[in-house]
Amino acid sequence: MATWKQEDSEGDPRRRAAPLHVEQPSRFPRSCISLIMSPAADLGRVLCIITGASRGFGRAVAQDLYRLVQPGSVLVLAARSGVDLRTFQAELTESEAGRAGLKVEVVVADIGKVEGLENIMRTSREASCEDMDHIMLINNAASLGDVSKYVKDFTDMAEVDSYLSLNVSSAMCLTAKVLQTFPQRPGLRRSIVNVTSLCALQPFRSWGLYCSAKAAREMMFKVLAEEEPDLRVLSYSPGPLDTEMQVEARTKTADPSIKKTFSNMFAQGQLLTCEMSSAKLMKLLLDDKFTSGDHIDVFDV
């Protein structure tokens, strides 16, 4: 489940016969990103937009990316929490990479609303330079939805529409805006990352909203990969992460067996840190060997 926010409790989709099976995190180094990095030196001079960047997995991804981009790169960090964003911005700006020329812009925005997406794009256009050689969008922001209900309980269309607007429509529209604003040209790489979940592939009782949104997003990005062969599209499933969403999952889930699984994962130390999972995503991006449109699980990296 992602993230228990994008922070999912993923597993290999081939393991469907064993629902909710999650590998022990002993396969992951607890050390820094450098231990699993590829020979590739960096990701280039990048304009990278990250949604849900103020905490959890999005924050960890931003921390890793600023070490792997060239001077003059720009991170555009978007989230609803202005205090957390600005604190994080100051931390990155004062870092060695920040002093070497990395720029960090923050956008306090609700991506479920049109004005939120417009603010992100306005900041991105103003921060970009003509000599950027890599445009990257990390579609990380997501919400769990009401997991205290079963599908038969969702009779309020406004509630469902609001959830899908934040978790599906926003990702599609922001991606489209980025691709239109920064069209393909010689020498430019463009990468789109969809932070996905095992829930995109496998049903979880009382998780109807979340599973539906993750499945819709994943198919949307598969279609995009078919439509845009020059685009690099990755759906990355970050695993069972130790985040606030995971707390919500193990305390509010209606289905008792699913709820017990989450509680056991926490009690048995099976949750991954966001830093562990982010390091694996960095390896995928640096190696750049995945097939565009693929779903790749953290345990398979």
At CA 164, angle to CA 137 and CA 262, rounded to 5? Answer: 85
Helix (H) or strand (E) run with residue 105 in it? strand 103-108
Express each pLDDT in 244-299 by its tens digit: 999 999 999 999 999 999 999 999 999 999 999 999 999 999 999 999 999 999 99
- What are the φ/ψ torsions at residue 195 (nearest 5 degrees)? -80, 115
pLDDT at site 97:
67
pLDDT tens digits for range 216-252: 999 999 999 999 999 999 999 999 999 999 999 999 9
**pLDDT value of position 96:** 76
Q: What pLDDT is stored for residue 95 in this prediction?
A: 81
Angle at 249 between CA 111 and CA 3, to 5 degrees: 45
Phi-psi region of 168 (alpha: psi -120 to 50; beta: other; left: phi over 0): alpha
* Residue 199 banded pLDDT, cuts 50, 70, 90: very high
The pLDDT of residue 251: 96
Contact 253, 266 (CB under 8 A): no
- Element spanning 159, H or E: helix 157-164
Task: Report pLDDT for 2.
Answer: 37
* pLDDT above 70 as % of the chain: 86
Environment class of residue 38 by beta-carbon count within 10 Å: exposed (0-12), middle (13-18) or buried (19+)? Answer: middle
Burial 121-153 (b: 16+ CB within 10 A, else e): bebbeebeeeebebbbbbbbbbbbbbbebeeee
**Separation of alpha carbons 230 and 225, rounded Å:** 8
> DSSP label at 271?
P
Give me the pLDDT at residue 176, please.
Answer: 98
- Find the range with the poorest average confidence among 82-86, 97-101, 131-135, 266-270: 97-101
pTM above 0.85, yes or no: yes
Q: pLDDT tier at 141 (50, 70, 90 boundaries)?
A: very high
| pLDDT computed for residue 34 by the predictor | 52
Nearest to 95 by CA among 69, 68, 63: 63
Task: Return the higher-pLDDT residue of 21 and 176.
Answer: 176
Kindly state the average pLDDT of the residues 31-55.
77
Tell me what pLDDT residue 12 has: 34
Cβ atoms within 10 Å of 80's Cβ, excluding its own: 15
121-131, pLDDT tens digit by residue? 999 999 999 88
pLDDT at position 101 is 80
The reported pLDDT for the residue numbered 279 is: 97
Residue 67 has pLDDT above 70, yes or no: yes
